[in-house]
Amino acid sequence: DQQVKQNSPSLSVQEGRISILNCDYTNSMFDYFLWYKKYPAEGPTFLISISSIKDKNEDGRFTVFLNKSAKHLSLHIVPSQPGDSAVYFCAASAKGGKLIFGQGTELSVKP
Amino acid sequence: DADVTQTPRNRITKTGKRIMLECSQTKGHDRMYWYRQDPGLGLRLIYYSFDVKDINKGEISDGYSVSRQAQAKFSLSLESAIPNQTALYFCATSDLPSGQGAFEQFFGPGTRLTVL
């Protein structure tokens, strides 16, 4: 039972354009959502998060949107850069501190 | 120096062998986690520990055991390795959740384990 789903295994975007990565969840008890970025041969690194009481959080080129009624969140990267090419994981937490991760989306930003 | 280190980084072993993966952290966090990553499945939690005396099973603990030797050390053991335990293994740490960084986990570089 996959509580956090990323249905697109891969995404290809042109440099300078917007990248939109999507994530769906099923558990309405999740109270915090995070995005992680992973380069090959490295561990995932934290990118941005959002509390369930908010619908948007922005950090530079990265914005996360949360639609609680649809149980959907998305990560927007504007403008996309070749260095953004990586695997992106969304994760969710219910009270207690454990994270449940999605399957990941591999983003390729082409020059 | 890296805050979260894992040893070994790569390991090839045979079915039935006992394997230990080690994780050390210098972040001073109480909470530590072991995950495995498989293609198409993302990161799945194996075990986690919220302090030295606390050990909890994750969603895929069968075939694994852990030991929390100290606040800074958390080891994962495969008692009798099998081929479907071939995966990338990550250790992570976190502080008590609070404020903007709530629930953020810090990951080690990973151990690539191959069971033949």
- Cis check: omega of the bond before A82, within 30 degrees of 0: no
Bridge partners (DSSP) listed for residue A99? A93
pLDDT attached to residue B65: 97
How close is the nearest chain B Cα to the Cα of A103, in Å?
4
Q: What percent of chain A has pLDDT over 70?
A: 97
The CA–CA distances, whole Å, from B12 to B5, B7, B83, B98, B108 equal 19, 13, 11, 40, 19
Cα separation of B39 and A33, whole Å?
22
| B36 part of contact set with chain A, CB < 8 Å | no
Average pLDDT score over chain A: 94
DSSP 8-state secondary structure symbol assigned to residue B113 = E
In the predicted structure, residue B101 carries a pLDDT above the cut 60: no
Q: Which neighbouring-strand residues pair with A57? A: A64
Any chain B CB within 8 A of the CB of A42?
yes
Cβ-count burial B87-97 (b if 16+ within 10 Å, e if not):
bbbbbbbbbeb
pLDDT at B98: 62
